[in-house]
Amino acid sequence: MIDLAKLLRFSTVGLLTAAFYVGLLSLVVELQLAQPVPASVFCYVGAVVLNYLLHYSWTFAPGGESEPAPHGRALTRYLVMVSCGFLINAGLMHLFVNVLVWHYLLAQTCALVAVVTWNFVASNLWVFKT
């Protein structure tokens, strides 16, 4: 059964991370500091750090007497998860921007949906399990 409170916290953290990510991506691209695809890769790393800290300390933090998943194990699993998400994001951005010639923000929105879905499933079933 899906824990609705956890899903709400996950969604809140996701929205905050997405706003940070898209805002930073737009800033980097519009200031012409990088092209959309490399900018997306750069911004993804910053979003990963923010996202992990919020999920570990709030979204998947156990309540009551429970101990949290050991930080080292959770972080290792999280890095595996986001590495897969990184490949999903980079692959979809390349496909949408370079092959299909979509606007980078539309492409990033579609890529984010795929990555967020992957992250929720992996986080719930594996990353933050004790």
Structural domain tally of the chain? 1
pLDDT given at position 130: 73
What does the alpha-carbon distance between residue 95 and residue 101 come to, in Å, rounded to a whole number? Answer: 8
Spatial neighbors of 90 by CB under 8 A, at least 6 apart, are: 37, 40, 41, 44
pLDDT given at position 64: 60
What does the alpha-carbon distance between residue 77 and residue 123 come to, in Å, rounded to a whole number? Answer: 9
Distances (CA, A) of 34 to 24, 40, 50, 71: 12, 9, 21, 34
Q: What is the pLDDT of residues 65-113, one digit of tens each?
A: 567 778 789 889 999 998 999 899 999 999 999 999 999 999 999 998 9
Model confidence at 127: pLDDT above 80: yes
Share of the chain above pLDDT 90, in %: 55
Model confidence at 54: pLDDT above 80: yes
As given in the structure block, the two tokens for residue 80 are 């595996």
Helix or strand or coil: residue 34? coil
- Mean of all residue pLDDT scores within the chain: 89
Domain span at residue 21 reads 4-127
